[in-house]
């Protein structure tokens, strides 16, 4: 029997880190966003835009995709560090380190470190834009889009393959342990898991958020156990696993509170 404990553990750690960092930076991010929240209409437009972006990545020349992502990631690193530390000369260091690493010292460990940094960073920043209602609407619509782009159009798989060939940190790539194969999980899936867990923590307490992070790790373990022993798909919409894990966390929290 093949199984993996590494990816589920990393998923749990990444989500838990997002929860704690969001709590630490909540006031700074809220003041920056001026308490603004996105509407249901905004959520629909965001998901549509994300679906278009996935499709566009398949047809845009590789060089243009590389420049676009490196520029966007560098800007996000600078902006997030500046929000946290309020020192532009300190904020300039992470994007420089990222670009130097990408062009001169890029290996699987460094690659995965930056994947985790970007997933946590995006999650913490974006969490303040959602309300309890819109975050679940976003999760549902994003999952529908993910399923369509994986199983109907196939563009999600093509886009992911292109990103991997360009060595862009948009997909966590980890060896399975103890099985010894390799498995990938997109930044978007980590983002959604962190986003839902942060809002569960905000509405039901820190313990509920950590429990949801743990349940996401458990859901990923169960999914991998099935996948590694059946190999039923090369690409699968992991947002389904994230939704399942988050619902498990929320359901368990409510059962505990009832008792």
Query: Is 95 part of any domain?
Result: yes
The domain total for the chain is 1
Q: According to the model, what pLDDT value does residue 27 have?
A: 83
Q: Could you list the residue range(s) of the whole structural domain that residue 142 is in?
A: 6-258
Domain assignment present for 223: yes
158 part of a folded domain: yes
Calpha distance 167→58 (Å, rounded): 15
- State how far the Cα of 199 lies from the Cα of 208, in Å rounded to an integer: 10
Whether the Cβ atoms of residue 140 and residue 233 lie closer than 8 Å to each other: no
CA distances to 124, 126, 161, 169 from 22, rounded to whole Å, are 5, 10, 31, 22
Q: What distance in Å separates the CA atoms of residue 18 and residue 24, rounded to the nearest whole number?
A: 10
pLDDT of residue 37: 86
Is the residue at 91 inside a domain? yes
The pLDDT value given to residue 259: 67
Q: Which residues, in sequence order, are CB contacts of 123 under 8 Å at separation 6+?
A: 18, 22, 190, 191, 194, 195, 198
Element containing residue 182 per DSSP (H, E): strand 182-186
Strand partners, 175: 182
Please report, in tens digits, the pLDDT of each residue of the chain (259 residues total).
Answer: 788 999 999 999 999 999 999 999 888 887 777 668 899 999 999 999 999 999 999 999 999 999 999 999 999 999 989 988 888 889 999 999 999 999 999 999 999 999 999 999 999 999 999 999 999 999 999 999 999 999 999 999 999 999 999 999 999 999 888 767 889 999 999 999 999 999 999 999 999 999 999 999 999 999 999 988 887 778 899 999 999 999 999 999 989 887 6
SS3 assignment, position 38:
coil
CB 10 within 8 A of CB 183: no
Placement of tokens 């243009």 in the chain: 64
């Amino acid at each position: 029997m093949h199984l993996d404990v590494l990816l589920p553990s990393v998923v749990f750690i990444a989500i838990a880190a997002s929860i704690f960092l969001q709590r630490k930076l909540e006031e700074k991010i809220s003041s920056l966003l001026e308490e603004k929240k996105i509407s249901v209409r905004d959520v629909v437009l965001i998901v549509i835009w994300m679906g278009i972006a996935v499709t566009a990545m398949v047809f845009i020349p590789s060089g243009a995709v590389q420049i676009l992502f490196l520029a966007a990631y560098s800007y996000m690193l600078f902006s997030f560090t500046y929000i946290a530390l309020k020192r532009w000369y300190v904020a300039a260091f992470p994007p420089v380190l990222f670009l130097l690493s990408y062009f001169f010292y890029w290996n699987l460990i460094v690659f995965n470190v930056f994947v985790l940094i970007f997933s946590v960073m995006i999650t913490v920043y974006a969490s303040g834009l959602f309300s309890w209602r819109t975050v679940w609407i976003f999760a549902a619509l994003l999952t529908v889009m993910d399923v369509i782009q994986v199983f109907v159009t196939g563009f999600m798989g093509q886009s992911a393959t292109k990103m991997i060939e360009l060595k862009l940190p948009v997909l966590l790539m980890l060896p399975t342990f103890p099985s010894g194969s390799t498995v990938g999980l997109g930044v978007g899936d980590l983002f959604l898991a962190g986003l839902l867990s942060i809002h569960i923590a905000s509405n039901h307490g820190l313990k509920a958020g950590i429990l949801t992070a743990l349940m996401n790790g458990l859901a990923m373990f169960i999914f991998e156990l099935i996948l590694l022993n059946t190999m039923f798909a090369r690409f699968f919409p992991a947002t389904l696993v994230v939704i399942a894990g988050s619902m498990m966390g929320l359901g368990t929290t409510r059962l505990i509170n009832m008792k």
